[in-house]
Amino acid sequence: MPRIVPRFLFTVLLMLPLAGMAQVNSLPSQPHLLVKGQASQEVVPDQFGISIVLRSIDKAPSVAREKAQANAAQVLAAFKAQHALSESVQASALSIGPEYRYENNAQVFVGTKVERSLSAKFGSLEDVRHLLASLKTSEELQVSGITTGFKDEAKVRAGLKRQAAEQTRETARRLAESYGVRLGGLYTISEVAPSFAYGVQAGTWPLERGSGGLPSPPVPPTDLAVNARAADGFFSESLEAGSLTLSENVYAIFLIAQ
């Protein structure tokens, strides 16, 4: 007598392979290990960037433009005097447009607004301090941001990638030994966290800390700590440069030898 398979069960069986294919994405069909390597290093900043925004408003467009240009000349001269790094000075094109304000729920034309941004990098924090002390800030000249950098960052990151890759091999080897299996070849390696059937995504992968697998503490802020106030029209500041934490992650899939 022929065996009858219920229609709904047959439909579910057909759907399972499709759902499985969507979940596993590009995972190998044979047994494998998915591991993460991470390496980080703290460095002392040796480059300091500063951004300045110029903004002038006047009923006469030419006057607003002249004010912005005069302020730009002042800032560029200050950059040069405080030894801005070669080829780091950047100036945006002038942005010109109408400026309005609201009075009694009505839009009132104020004048033509001219904006421009200038930025530069310096090789010492002392140069930045001297620059800020020399600037007279106002509504037309404002410091919009200060950042830190490390000139050999690319070289350090390349080394961290190698360390992270070596860590994946060591982690995979230890896992294989703990389960009594042998590692096969490397299937894939990437700097981007996979999002496969495991439910693992970037930012959710547990970090290896000793045997407990506890997450690392939060990375401290890497930008300069800036406390600024306008006093008698001059920019008063206090700057402290902390450290930068450079970090690289590597995700690898190793096949398990059959």
Per domain, the residue ranges of the chain are 26-44+151-258, 47-149
CATH number belonging to the domain at 47-149, selected among 3.10.20.520, 1.20.58.1000, 3.30.70.2970, 3.10.450.50: 3.30.70.2970
Q: At CA 93, angle to CA 88 and CA 95, rounded to 5?
A: 140
pLDDT at 199: 53
**How far apart are alpha carbons 223 and 243 in whole angstroms?**
9
Question: pTM of the full predicted structure?
Answer: 0.63
pLDDT at 195: 64
Look up the CATH superfamily of 26-44+151-258.
Answer: Protein of unknown function (DUF541), domain 1 (3.30.110.170)
Q: Are 50 and 76 in contact (CB under 8 A)?
A: no
Q: Are 135 and 53 in contact (CB under 8 A)?
A: no
pLDDT at 1: 45
Tens of pLDDT, residue by residue over 111-157, are 999 999 999 999 999 999 999 999 999 999 999 999 999 999 999 99
Q: Are 154 and 108 in contact (CB under 8 A)?
A: no
